Chains A and B, each alone.
Chain A
Amino acid sequence: MSQPDAEIVQFDNVGLRYGTDKEILADVSFTLYPGCFYFLTGASGAGKTSLLKLLYLAQRPSRGLIRLFGTDAITLPRERLPGFRRRIGVVFQDFRLVDHLSAFDNVALPLRVAGVSERDIVRPVGEMLDWVGLGDRQHVRPATLSGGEQQRVAIARAVIARPDMLVADEPTGNVDPDMALKLLRLFESLNRLGTTVVVATHDVHLIRKVPESLIMRLDKGRLSDPTGALRYPPRRQTPTGASAPAPL
């Protein structure tokens, strides 16, 4: 039975392995609450991207339980996946922009698949591109954009539909410090509006810029939570009125 706002994500003893290889993720258990800002840290190869794939439903775990928006995501019928995915904005590590579409059309894509009319797409997409500093490059295709510009388009695409949860894999890896800070402020703005934000990064400076954030650390596929804050978080009121952990 769904319990909206009680918890947005719950992982319980989740394991993930590809084929017969050893587990990339093992015994991962945590709970994410609405309106919180999480950083996922860990060395390269620790399993951050794999964990995020489980979060945005690109991968099924080999074992364990995952509840998403109060619903069992393991047994979720395939036809219900799009509805859940539309509630999650994703910034892929490799951007994954659609090559044949312009920056504008890439950012508009989540709105178009959600059935938003063209009339209601033009203004917000234009404003979003202006905000990430690409207002004058709306009709340029990704191939002619720099890495940093592509990353900004990917971020704009992830947040344009105001998702309930934003999952970002190294979202500031290719942008200059000023733009990184600006993008972080965008994430914080979304977070203040109630969006749960999960950012995978190993940039300590970035983490320090969001002092109220919660930190998850992955080490060789295992989640370390030395303070217990992830599993036994102190409670606070979220913008939606539900209980959520207090900032660390």
Chain B
Amino acid sequence: MGLLSSLMRQWRGNGAASDPRLLPEAQLSGPMPWVIAIMIAMTVIAAASGLALRNAAQTASADLEGGVTVQIVTAAPAERLRQAAAVVAALKQAPEVANVQQVAQEDLNTLVEPWLGTRPGDDVEALPIPALIDVRLKGPATADRVAHLRALAVPVAPSARVDAQAGWLAPVFAAIGTLQWLAGGLIALLALATIAAVLLASRNALGNHRETIEIVHMLGGTDKQIARVFQRSMAFDAAAGGLVGLLFGVVTIVTLSRQFAGLGSGMVAGAVLHWQDWIVIAAIPLAGIALAVLTARMTVLAALRRML
């Protein structure tokens, strides 16, 4: 942070030219930029995780929202094919159905291949794998709609089992929701920790400069003038720390996202960050600066009110 500190010092020097040079600002906050950098980096990572999880859940939910799967569970291949064809024909007549498609036997074989094998001699087709029919509804697969589809399918195919696809992933969505709350809680805790760190730093700085503050008071300096010095110092520290924290956080996010993308899993593929999410992430250091400045101001003003 050497170059950054040097630039900040120059900036401070120029900015303070027209202000009352009340306190030696460079000595006010000590390690505060580093503390804030760590807080911001952790907040950025937590926020990015929460946003990516939300996006993954939204993508999966959108994919599955109107999806219904009909299974024809019968061991006799001919009967299975007959019932499947009957169900496809029946469901095509339903007004809420957008598309009905029986999953091809080759696709089913591919689906079960990892468990049942493909070595010579394996007779996958001889296994009583249920016929699968993928149904897309025009709206979400509500319980009433699923019940209606079941009422249409069962009379023509007694072996039919009708399920909403979203129902299978309900526990996953619940887990994602919990993780999102966890990320939110982590961000709140980090904000509280930042407030506590700024509060301690401000009180410490006030104690170190009590003599000077008393002199400035005696010369007619107002509490707001003194508080502004602390605010400005804290703003510079928070800006430096926020920038470093943001960079560290973004590098971490990009590295993690590349590693997760390599997994090639459908659900994980949806856990991406959109441009709106990047705006939110970029705003975190600004929120950190605002929080630090506000905390410093309130702490200093409260302490000064106790002095004459």
Q: What residues of chain A have their CB less than 8 Å away from a CB belonging to chain B?
A: 56-60, 78-79, 81-83, 85-86, 90, 92, 96, 98-101, 105, 109-110, 112-114, 117-118, 157
> Are A113 and B17 in contact, with the CB atoms below 8 A?
no
Query: How distant is the Cα of A101 from the Cα of B23 in the complex, in angstroms?
Result: 9
Nearest A residue to B305, CB-CB: A78
Q: Do A117 and B20 form a contact, CB below 8 Å, given A58-B218, A110-B219?
A: no
Chain A residues with Cβ under 8 A from B24's Cβ? 100
B120 to chain A, nearest CB (A): 87
**Which of B17, B219, B225, B308 has most chain A Cβ within 10 Å?**
B219
Partner-A contacts on B (CB < 8 A): 17-24, 211-212, 214-222, 225, 305, 308
Pairwise interchain contact A56-B220, C-beta atoms closer than 8 A: no
Whether A85 and B220, one on each chain, are in contact in the complex, defined by CB atoms closer than 8 angstroms, is yes
Say which residue of A58, A85, A113 sits within 8 Å of B20 (CB atoms). Answer: A113
B219: contacting residue among A78, A79, A113, CB under 8 A: A113
| Contact across chains for B20 and A112 when beta carbons are under 8 A apart | yes
Residues of A within 8 A of B20 (CB): 109, 112-113
Q: Which residue from B18, B218, B219, B308 sits with its C-beta under 8 Å from A60?
A: B308
- Among residues of B, the one whose C-beta sits closest to the C-beta of A114 is B220
Q: Which residues of B contact A109 (CB under 8 A)?
A: 20-22, 215-216, 219
| Residues of chain A with a CB closer than 8 A to B216's CB | 98, 109, 113
Would you call B218 and A90 a contact (CB within 8 A)? Answer: yes
**Of A82, A83, A90, A112, which contacts B19 at CB under 8 A?**
A112
B308 x A57 contact (CB < 8 A): yes
Supplied contacts A82-B217, A113-B222, A117-B18, 10 more A-B pairs, CB within 8 Å: A79-B222, A85-B218, A85-B219, A86-B219, A90-B218, A96-B214, A109-B20, A109-B21, A113-B20, A157-B219
Q: List 28 A-B contacts (CB under 8 A).
A: A57-B308, A58-B308, A59-B308, A60-B308, A81-B217, A82-B222, A83-B220, A85-B217, A85-B219, A85-B220, A86-B220, A90-B219, A96-B214, A98-B22, A98-B212, A98-B216, A100-B23, A109-B22, A109-B215, A110-B219, A113-B20, A113-B219, A113-B220, A113-B221, A113-B225, A117-B18, A118-B18, A157-B219
